Structure 1
């Protein structure tokens, strides 16, 4: 079970860092967007490139999903087991969520460009390939990354 505030925290993140282990035992990190995460302890990630993360998960299902909010100085690491699910077995509602997230990212980038904020001019989200599979994670552990002294100070207030 994941607390609602942690679920909301991950939904508010533009991207997360996914860690897997390669065949030599080294960690591999990559940026992924969360399509969905729910209080039951499931997270749904799209991995579009069928590269290292995909190969690593085929050999070892252990995964972590990490996100931080540097402004608020909070973050979490979700640890669990992942499985690869082919697109034809993914619910249409999850695929629709992915499309909505891409649309939102493109809109966000366009608005930043209109405001004159520098960014990537090519709108890379519009060039992403169509997903062929989804990574489904059963979350076993939640690690709170808020430093202890900050947590203690917040509890005093």
Structure 2
């Protein structure tokens, strides 16, 4: 496992979701969005999956995975590659489910506040219709790629 820096941990924690890429049995790539419930310095990322779709099927046969996180405002990002383990719903600890539910509530609250501040009348809150988590993906990070353009990295020093 690769140890994660404070910068990488902060970057990923502030994102609402990440892009997860997996491989099917024929080498085809599947890409989907997954919710973040945790990340630790030792190099583990904890994701919630709301569906038992292609990601689930792919990880069952091939645990190789990449997680990409982009901050479009800062023009920074990381891809973390590693191996995934599936934790079934009944084995997920209660505090993790509670943390996920709190994140969903926070996303809805942020959207409502933003709408009020901008005087937008929108009742579209897709998070409110999320199904219950089906399983958790625990990823042991083996490789890290900084996606920030080189000329911008120099500005961050």
Partner of residue 102, structure 1: 104
Partner of residue 72, structure 1: 74
Aligned residues: 155
1:48 aligns with 2:50: yes
CA gap 1:6/1:54 in 2 versus in 1, 3 angstroms: same
Q: CA deviation at 1:132?
A: 2.6
Q: CA deviation at 1:120?
A: 6.7
RMSD value, Cα: 1.8
Distance 1:153 1:108 in 2: 30
Q: Pairwise mapping of residues 1-157 of structure 1 onto structure 2 (< 5 A)?
A: 1-116=3-118, 121-152=123-154, 154-155=156-157
Distance 1:80 1:25 in 2: 16
CA gap 1:133/1:153 in 2 versus in 1, 3 angstroms: closer
* Structure 1 segments unaligned to the other structure (5+ residues): none
CA gap 1:24/1:30 in 2 versus in 1, 3 angstroms: same
Given that 1:61 and 1:82 are in contact with CA atoms closer than 8 Å, whether structure 2 keeps it comes out as yes
Q: Between 23-32 and 120-129, report the one with greater CA deviation.
A: 120-129
Distance 2:122 2:76 in 1: 27
Distance 2:40 2:119 in 1: 33
Q: CA deviation at 1:118?
A: 5.8
Q: Deviations over 1:42-91 (max 9, x none)?
A: 11111111001111111110111101112212110111101111122112
Distance 1:117 1:26 in 2: 44
With normalisation by structure 2, the TM-score equals 0.90
* Structure 2 segments unaligned to the other structure (5+ residues): none
> Which secondary structure state, in structure 2, belongs to the residue aligned with residue 100 of structure 1?
helix
With normalisation by structure 1, the TM-score equals 0.90
Given that 1:109 and 1:119 are in contact with CA atoms closer than 8 Å, whether structure 2 keeps it comes out as no
